[in-house]
Amino acid sequence: MTTQTALTIGQDAPDFKLKAYPSGEYSISQFKGKKNIVLAFYPKDDTPGCTTEMCAFRDDISQFNEANTQVFGISCDDETSHKAFSEKFSFKQPLLADVGGEVAKKYGTYQDAKGYASRKLFVIDKAGKIQKIVDGMPTNSELLDFVKGLK
């Protein structure tokens, strides 16, 4: 049984370092003082809901960039799976490979029985604090309105 703590608005976002497709490693701390972050946990690469969500981010990525916000998709799939998914749909946002679900556990989204993360989204401000938590798939216009209001 995995012990998970429910995160709340205003607390520090748990930091991590994960490999990503198409390249590099990312952490929350590397964006402190620089950019807001949208961290979108999703269950599985190349499934209907996950494809819809990641394609929506792809389509609006320039607006998130203009709002000084880094978007990440994150699932328990590995980099090989992320590569196939990303190339199939021409994603512009990095997909983080949380193999084993360690980051999903820190964020309280890991589903032990299924072996993957549930769909949950976190907006993290430039100070590294959680400012919004959404179960499911909010619209990008809601997210963009929210991040534009962050300092």
Q: Where are the domains of the chain?
A: 18-22+34-148
**Catalytic residue list:** 50
Please list the pLDDT of the chain residue by residue as tens digits (151 residues).
445 668 999 999 999 999 999 999 999 999 999 999 999 999 999 999 999 999 999 999 999 999 999 999 999 999 999 999 999 999 999 999 999 999 999 999 999 888 889 999 999 999 999 999 999 889 999 999 999 999 7
Contact 129, 11 (CB under 8 A): yes
Pairing of strands 18-21, 95-97: antiparallel
Q: According to CATH, what is the number of the domain 18-22+34-148?
A: 3.40.30.10
**13 closest CA partner among 2, 24, 5:** 5
Angle value at C-alpha 109, between 33 and 115, nearest 5 degrees = 130
Copy the structure tokens of residue 71: 């978007």
